[in-house]
Amino acid sequence: MSETKNRQKTGETMAQEKQKTAIGYVRVSTNKQDTDAQEGAILKTAHGKNLKLENIEQETISSRKQDRKIYGVADSLKAGQVLIVYEMSRLARSIPEVYEIVKRVKARKASILIISPVEIWLGAGLDPQQEMNSDLYIFMLGQCANMERRLIAERTKNALRARKEQGVKLGRPAGKGRKVEAILKEKNVDIEGLKNIGLSAVKIGKLIGVDRRTVSDYLIEQEKKKQEARKLKKGEK
């Protein structure tokens, strides 16, 4: 009888040791129901996969890539851990960004589990079939990321070429008293879009013909406006 109990205890101990841990990641929305739905799906998935959910990290999305919490979460994962995300769009806003996050997670020998609309495993420490599917998916992400960068760069060059043909001067604008936003508005370029795909202020400045400080000032100003808008929304509730 005692031997049976010992075997049961040993089996329970081994099962606990084998149980993987997980971290949930939620991109916080202004819609509380959406945030609750993400958390609920993560909790349900962790339970169904026998994963010990240690924490659910929340992030209010920022337009500045270097400020995004998800990169810190990815870089702090332990080998074998699982990062659970409700859907791909909650993880990142562009293919290049998704690709970079997945690379960081795989380098940590951890994995990502995307829940919806279909279950997708990405990273390391997976079973052979999942590993093969993950490698294929990561390869496709890399190809799509490169294509997206090239397309945005090409569209930007074409837009600038067209404006040059119209007689618009593309060098650094003269007149220190002019507002940064007005200067960049004339360029008709999606500055935030270029920033979101990984281009630095220096590269964006060179691409559109303005000083990097002009680009940086613009991005800072846009972030301030977004923060003020969020505060106003909170005040209305």
Domain boundaries, the chain: 9-143, 169-236
Q: What H or E segment, with its residue span, contains residue 115?
A: strand 111-116
> 152: closest CA among 208, 229, 112, 228?
208
Residue 47, amino acid? H
Q: What is the pLDDT of residue 10?
A: 46
Res 108 pLDDT > 90: yes
Q: What is the pLDDT of residue 182?
A: 64
Query: Which residue in the block uniquely carries the two structure tokens 């609309």?
Result: 117
In this prediction, residue 49 has a pLDDT band, given cuts at 50, 70 and 90, of very high
Res 184 pLDDT > 80: no
Higher pLDDT, 117 or 199: 117
Length of the chain: 237
Name the least confident of 148-157, 160-169, 177-186.
177-186
Classify domain 9-143 at the CATH class level. Answer: alpha beta
Q: What is the pLDDT of residue 80?
A: 93
Is the four-CA dihedral 73, 75, 78, 80 of positive or negative sign? Answer: positive
DSSP reduced 3-state for 26: strand
Question: What is this structure's pTM?
Answer: 0.56
